[in-house]
Amino acid sequence: MAIYKFTVVKGHQVASGCANDPRFPKGTIAAQTPFFRALGLELAVFHPATLNAQFNCDAIILKRYDHFFKQVKWHEDVPPEDFKFCRCHILVKSKSYPALIYQPQVVTKKEHLQPLNQLEILAPFIPGVFYGDVLTLDIVNGSISQFDTT
């Protein structure tokens, strides 16, 4: 297993529904859950929001994944998207939470793009986690690579 530190940062808030986007009143994760369930991946075990994980690098690449779904048409107002998911764990104060890296693919995603040094993570609700907290990602070796451009 490989261990990476990351900082929890504020995202676009559409995943959780806190962005007040009328298309996704309960958030994009809640809207996508039945579509991924039909494809064999259950997301209801996770909190319907993402942890936005910022890594201390210029870019982070997901190299290995457990699920890759192409052309998922999950909403009438959003073009079909490709998604990759990778199993991992989030470590918080010596407790391990099962999680998934959730990565809509840039080639099909039309809005709410993430910075190159961030990953979105689905996890159960973790009490006491706030923006600015440094947490630990525990993931299979070789699953991600970090890059600096300087």
**Each residue's pLDDT tens digit, 87-145:** 999 999 989 999 999 988 766 666 656 778 999 999 999 999 999 999 999 999 999 99
Using alpha carbons, select from 76, 126, 72 the residue that is nearest to residue 96: 126
β partners of residue 99:
88
- Say what the pTM is: 0.91
Provide CB contacts within 8 A for 16, sequence distance 6+: 27, 29, 48, 49, 50
**Each residue's pLDDT tens digit, 64-93:** 999 999 999 998 988 999 999 999 999 999
Alpha-carbon distance of 108 to 79, in angstroms, equals 8
The pLDDT of residue 12 is: 74
Under 8 Å between Cβ of 86 and 101: yes
Indicate if the pLDDT at residue 23 is higher than 90: no
> Domains plus CATH for the chain?
2-147 (2.40.30.30)
